[in-house]
Amino acid sequence: MPKEKNNKLVNKTVNIAVYLNILDEVLWQDIDRIIFENGYSYIVDEDNYMEMLAFLYRRLRRTWFGRKNPSPEQFRRRLKYYYTRKRTELLAVVSYLVSLYYNSRRMGLHN
């Protein structure tokens, strides 16, 4: 039994990496612009950037899908839909989440 649990954990880690790549692929320019415009660039390194993407993914997944775990294709379709049709709203939410993440890091509330 422990091996099955360990395999599920590995699969979950691999899956989140796929979702983070999707987020990075679609939103990297906008996220970089938000970070630069708001002065968060002093905090950014590769590890913090991936943690921030994981934070964004968890919040967007919970908002769009509730407690369900979408397939990567479903997540990509939903992200592309909002990016093409409701880009202003998506970028406002992403900007809010980025500021929430970095302010919580600055205050020591987020590891």
* Average pLDDT along the chain: 84
Question: What's residue 1's pLDDT?
Answer: 46
User: Which of 26, 24, 28, 13 shows the shortest CA–CA distance to 77?
Assistant: 26
- Encode pLDDT of 17-46 as tens digits: 999 999 999 999 999 899 888 887 766 677
- Assigned domain for 14 exists: yes
CB proximity list for 31: less than 8 A, separation 6 or greater: 24, 52, 94, 98
Report which of 23, 75, 72, 71 is spatially closest to residue 51, judged by C-alpha positions: 23
pTM recorded for the entire structure: 0.79
At which residue do the structure tokens 């294709």 appear? 73
Range of 40's domain? Answer: 2-106
Residue 79 near residue 23, CB atoms below 8 Å: yes
Whose structure tokens read 């993914």?
A: 57
Please tell me the total count of domains within the chain: 1
Residue 62, in any domain of the structure: yes
- The H-assigned helical ranges of 39-86 are 46-65, 72-85
- The reply to whether 111 falls in a domain is no
Over range 84-90, report the average pLDDT: 94
Average pLDDT over residues 100-108: 81
Residue 81 lies in a domain: yes
Q: Please state, for a pLDDT cut of 90, what percent of the chain lies above it.
A: 52
Secondary structure of residue 1 in the 3-state scheme: coil
66 found inside a domain: yes
Residue 61 or residue 108, greater confidence: 61
Whether 86 has a pLDDT exceeding 90, the answer reads yes
> Residue 27 domain-assigned?
yes
